[in-house]
Amino acid sequence: MVLLVILGARLFQLQGLDTAGMAQAAVDKRLRTSEIPALRGEILDADNTVLARSVQRFDIVVDQRLVEDFERFNPKTKRLEQVKIDGEIKKLAGILGQDVETVTKAVVGDLPFNYVAKSVTPDIQEKVENLAFPGLQSRETTTRSYPMGQVAGSIVGFLGSDGSPLEGIEATQQDLLAGTSGERTFEIGADGIRIPVATNEETPAEDGQSVRLTLNSDLQWYAQEAIAAQVKEYGAEYGTIVAMNAKTGDIIALADSETVDPNDPGATKDGMRQSLAATRAFEPGSTTKMITMAAAIEEGITTPTTKYKIPPKYTVNNETFTDALPHGTETRTTAGIFAKSLNTGTVMIGEQLTRQQRYDYLRRFGIGEEYDIGIPGTTPGLLAAPEQWDGRQEFTVLFGQGLAQTALHTAAAYATIANGGVRMEPRLIDAYIDPDGTEHEVPREEGSRAVSNETADQVQDMLETMANQGGGLPGKVEDYRMGAKTGTAEAPSDDGGFSGYTISYAGIAPMEDPEYVVVATIQRPKGGVFSLTAGPVFKKVMGQVLSTYNVPPSDTKPVKLPLE
């Protein structure tokens, strides 16, 4: 009787006084919460071609402790039937395309959690769910794919095995691309199977924004192939191509001779997984003479047709300068000095600028400025303040030595002349796109004037003269008026000296209304430096640019300034 009284009191306590509490405790024990991953935004080219996308996938997991023979309701017979787990494991192996032994090892055991398969497609997940045997579940996830492979791989970047962004746009735009994960709460029975009519609460995920770039993926592919072929032919270390729209600053190609495939980043060696065109600084050499000439014309020191007597050697402040090829004393116009790329004549003109003016004009053209185009590792290069220049450096900066810049800097400088003397900030990200398709264009920054429109016109004439009568001939694009300048500089070695050369070719077209700039740079080509030029690869890429944007052939005669 005492025991019955105690039992009755306990039943009254549970059923009469704490009904809700015990029921809630039971529900809490059955509740499970899983993450609903946000769909990562896409990375697109200028024409909305997909460079990176995430797709819905599922991981198949199991609580091995619950895997055993079970009863399943048969809707045909309307009776519970005994089901052998071995048969269900065989069915699961067939669905997953795995052998039975592998699946058995994954499913049978004492582990509370184990992976059976990762990143399966939704149709496979549905078939697995239909098996509905104890302990087997699916968890929603996503996987990243890069349909264009190596095309713009170093710009797009890639994710690590854990889904963390490691390079490129993937890394710098992580907060916008990633979105916000959601949450799903549901109840499971003692057999580990979800109870369909019980609690089912869901907080939806907020998918990430997509990022549209200014790149043209077809041009990007072409430029990558072209520079890779030229580097291979020359036995060079590496090469880069930069193509820009001078009027907008939009980068339409940013190519390296070796580019990472984001689908398999481990196949590319360290140091070659970033955009070398925007992250590797080097002495540019004679392409910088364009800035010196623009500064001298702007300051009224010279004109394209001003004549100078050029000696074989020129000495100033006890510093002697010579030219790449020996020559006697000769008369050259400013255009002739530029077309023949004479260091001596460049120093004669440039020394009339003050130290501060030399520095200021380099800065006006973007040298020493870091361009934040949305990828990691960009650099401002090296441009010391004028008070830090030594006795020789104050003159070598006039012809591109004693300073360092990336190929992107060179392209931006030439785009400034092509754009009438107004420098536009290089631009790689065009817009952000919401999951519902709403676009948010990244505003273009206002350009900054480096030189007057009149000065830019005169420098354009000098560039065109150089392309037709100077060292620019190997890069001449048929049927188009264009301007160009070549550059050669010693490449620094790891021991502090120099090892090999850097050769460049920078050009603008069409000269009737300059719009496009291409810069080709090749590092440490093998062979005689005077017999090598980046002109051929420039010619291919600039020709492709003009064709891609349907620029009609020139119908006017090119400018040819007197050289003597």
Q: Supply the DSSP string of 247-273, one letter for each residue.
A: TT-BEEEEEESS---TTSGGGS-TTSS
Q: DSSP letters of 474-528?
A: GGPPTTS--EEEEEEEEEEPTTSSEEEEEEEEEEEE-TTS--EEEEEEEES-SS-
Are 520 and 505 a contacting pair, CB within 8 Å? yes
Which pLDDT score is estimated for 192? 52
Mean per-residue pLDDT pooled into runs of 10, the chain (564 residues): 81 62 54 72 96 90 90 84 90 93 92 91 90 85 90 94 90 92 66 55 83 98 98 96 97 96 90 92 96 98 97 95 92 96 96 97 97 95 96 96 96 98 97 95 92 98 92 88 94 77 96 97 88 93 97 94 94
Which pLDDT score is estimated for 472? 75
Taking the C-alpha atoms of residue 249 and residue 499, their distance in angstroms, rounded to an integer, is 34
Distance between the two ends of the chain, CA-based, in angstroms? 127
3-class DSSP assignment, residue 243:
strand
**Nearby residues of 104 by Cβ (< 8 Å), 6 or more positions away:** 89, 93
With the C-alpha atoms ordered 99, 101, 105, 108, is the resulting torsion angle positive or negative?
A: positive
Q: DSSP letters of 91-131?
A: HHHHHHT--HHHHHHHHSSS-S-EEEEEEE-HHHHHHHHHH
Buried b (16+ CB within 10 A) or exposed e, 461-478: bbbbbbbbbbbbebbbbe
Which pLDDT score is estimated for 31? 57
Which pLDDT score is estimated for 56? 82
Which pLDDT score is estimated for 179? 83
Which pLDDT score is estimated for 18? 56
Q: How far is the CA of 168 from the CAs of 17, 159, 173, 174, 200, in angstroms?
A: 62, 10, 9, 10, 39
CA 27 to chain centre: 50
pTM of the model: 0.85
Which pLDDT score is estimated for 293? 98
Instruction: Say whether the peptide bond before residue 510 is cis (omega within 30 degrees of 0).
Output: yes
